[in-house]
Every structure is written in structure tokens, then in C-alpha cells.
Copies of this chain bind each other. A is one copy, B any other.
Amino acid sequence: MFIRNAWYVAAWSAEVVADRPFARTLLEEPVVLFRDPQGRAHALADRCPHRFAPLHKGDVRDGTVGCAYHGLRFDGTGRCTLNPHGDGRIPEAARVRSYPVLERYGAIWIWMGEPARAEGAPAALPDFSFVDPEHNEVSTGYLLTHAHYQLSADNLLDLSHFQYLHPDTLGSPAIAGDPGRFSESGETVRSHRRTEAEQLPSFIARAFGVPDGMCVDRRFEVRWDPPGLMAIDIRVAPTGVTYGRESRSAHLLTPETSASTHYFFAFGLPKTLGPAARTLVDYALAGLVTPFRNEDLPMLEAQQAALGDSGFWERQPVLLPIDGGAIRARRIMERKLAEEAQCSNA
């Protein structure tokens, strides 16, 4: 079960180019994305209403996508615009479901619930302006994880795992000392963590331009909004100094299925920082991808395998203080799922 009345990232903007259909399964539905001649993105169910051919096998022309099997064409609203056969009449039923989309923060967002409810929603998107390519140097990444998206949210809401799962890259003995603090405001969950007078692992030190051996304090803030929109803010300052360098990253989770997740991530720094911004975001992104792919991803998939078809709570997980953020996020999701279920029953 997924929350449907919510904006999900369907793709990074750069993934959907002119004149080429782009396919991705979202919330267990095959979707095709394409752009019209004005560059506006559109999203349709990736299934021709004639004989179910996937529309992404076809071509894009003049704002329409053409089916590769018998050539019907559909515009961004899902209306059939061409039947090339015989007298060319277009049956009323020749329509494809279209989904509201929105382009913001360098991503194409999709609304897979009731279209009418999408209207007022864009304003409600959490702030990810720090990865908006208009004003920032941004480095983006994407990975498909074969695990429920909430396991990825758990992972990011509790960075204590750095020390155990990533001992050679992100880990630092100072992290375990602080079990974290958590806060909730509206539907936003925040998890905070601090280290003091620590020597950074060298990958991290370099990412923040900290000289080897310098003692620093770190402050982590992880922000989560439903259905899985996360920002991680890390500040590093020489011990005792209150203001230092900052790293901000977006971590956007979209379920592919109930056991697999599209993980979109990005680092951004203001263009006003000059050419160093580009170097730093690329360095940070490259540095994240390796431990994520080699360490987090297999762990998430092993958790999913261990869960099998059971729900998370059925397995009776032991709760530790470090889980405060993850549990708050899970509770909010459960409440929202229950609300949607009730509405659609009403």
C-alpha cells in the first residue's frame, strides 16, 4: 500500500530528454514520461489502450507519443490524436490515464492519486531549493534498491550506522556517543546528532576542506517529510567555533514496488561560491555512491529478504533510542495510509 495523494519524484529532469519516451515503474504502475515541443513534461500510463503495448517502445513527435504496435498516438492529456488506419475514426475509449506532473528542484514530480487534489499541493512540497539548478551547482545520482522505501528512510534517519556499516569511509567513533535528538512539527520529522572534538575520516575531512588532524565539531540534521523526501544537512566547524562549512543533500525515495525503491540523491551548493562549488558537489556525490552501493544497498536488500512478506511490526523489532526519528516517520506514514484508506472507502 502506498500513499497516492502525494508528490513523488518520477525522474531527474535531465533524464527525460526531447523526443524520447522515458519509462519507469512507480507505485507498481508502469509510467511513460515525455516532453512536448515547449519542453513541458507529461506522464501517461505506459500501456496502450488498444492492445497493451508499452507506449515507451514508441516515438515522441509534436507533443504526442505513438504506439509502436499499430501507430495510435496520444497527447499529454492521454487523448488519442491519431488512428492511422482506414477512415481514421478514434473510438471514445481510446484514452490513456494521464498523471499530473510538476517540474521543480531539478526533478519531475508526479501525483498518482486523485488528480483534483494535486492542484493546491505544489506549494506544500518541502523546500529543496538548495538543489535547484538555477541557483546552485548540483550533482545528482540515482540507484534502484531492492527493498521497501521505508527501510531507506530508517537508514537515513539514523546516521549512527555510519560507524558500523561504513567503517572505512563515513564512520567515526565519535558518532555512537550521541544517540540523537528528534523533533516533530506538522508532518516533518527531524533527527539531530552532534559530535565534539573529533578527527574526521579523511574522505569527510577532504569534502569539507578540513586539514588533516584538525579537531572539529559536527552537527547533523536529517529532515524527513512524507512520503520519503529527505534532506541531510551536515555542518563542520573547528572545535569551539560556532559557524563552519555546510553540506546539504537531498534524498528522495519513490517506491517502484512494495519491495523496491527509486533512490534519487543530490548535493547542491550555491553558484555564488564560485567554481569550487562544482568540484565539491561532484566529490561529495562520488563519495556517497560507493559506500551506499557497496554497503547500504546490500544491507537494505538483506533486511528486505529477512522481512519477506511480513510487515515490519510483525517481526517485532527491538526499539533503541537511536530509532526515535525512524519510528516517528513510520507512525506518520501509518496514519496517512489509514487516512487515505478511509477516504477511499467513504
Enumerate chain A interface residues (CB-CB to B < 8 A): 30, 47, 49-54, 57, 66-71, 83-87, 91, 93-94, 154, 158, 160-161, 163-165, 176-179, 298-299, 302-303, 306-307, 315-322
Contacts and interface: CB of A to CB of B under 8 A. Distances in A.
Contacts of A30: 306
B86 A303 contact: no
A320 B91 contact: yes
28 contacts: A30-B306, A50-B317, A51-B303, A51-B317, A52-B302, A53-B302, A53-B306, A54-B302, A54-B306, A57-B299, A57-B302, A69-B299, A70-B158, A70-B160, A70-B161, A70-B320, A71-B164, A84-B176, A85-B160, A85-B179, A85-B321, A85-B322, A86-B178, A86-B322, A87-B179, A87-B321, A91-B320, A93-B316
Given A50-B317, A51-B317, A85-B160, 13 more contacts: A30-B306, A49-B316, A50-B320, A52-B307, A54-B306, A69-B164, A71-B176, A83-B320, A85-B179, A86-B179, A91-B319, A91-B320, A93-B316
Nearest to A47: B306
Contacts of A66: 164
Given A69-B299, A307-B52, A86 B321 contact: yes
Contacts of A298: 57
Contacts of A321: 85-87
Contacts of A94: 318
A57 B161 CA distance: 14
A56 to B, nearest CB: 10
Contact of A85 (B69, B71, B93, B176): B176
A327 B71 CA distance: 19
Nearest to A176: B84
Contact of A165 (B69, B302, B317): B69
Name A's interface SS: loop
A270 to B, nearest CB: 34
Identical copies in the complex: 3
A287 B50 CA distance: 28
A303 B52 contact: yes
A182 to B, nearest CB: 13
A150 B261 CA distance: 34
Nearest to A158: B70
A267 to B, nearest CB: 24
Given A86-B178, A86-B322, A179-B87, A317 B52 contact: yes
User: What are the 8 closest A-B residue pairs judged by CB atoms, nearest first?
Assistant: A86-B179, A52-B306, A71-B164, A49-B318, A94-B318, A84-B176, A93-B318, A85-B179
Contacts of A160: 70, 85
A318 B163 contact: no
A309 to B, nearest CB: 13
A142 B100 CA distance: 45
A257 to B, nearest CB: 13
Contacts of A158: 70
A24 to B, nearest CB: 15
Contacts of A87: 179, 321
Contacts of A178: 86
Nearest to A58: B164
Contacts of A70: 158, 160-161, 164, 320, 322
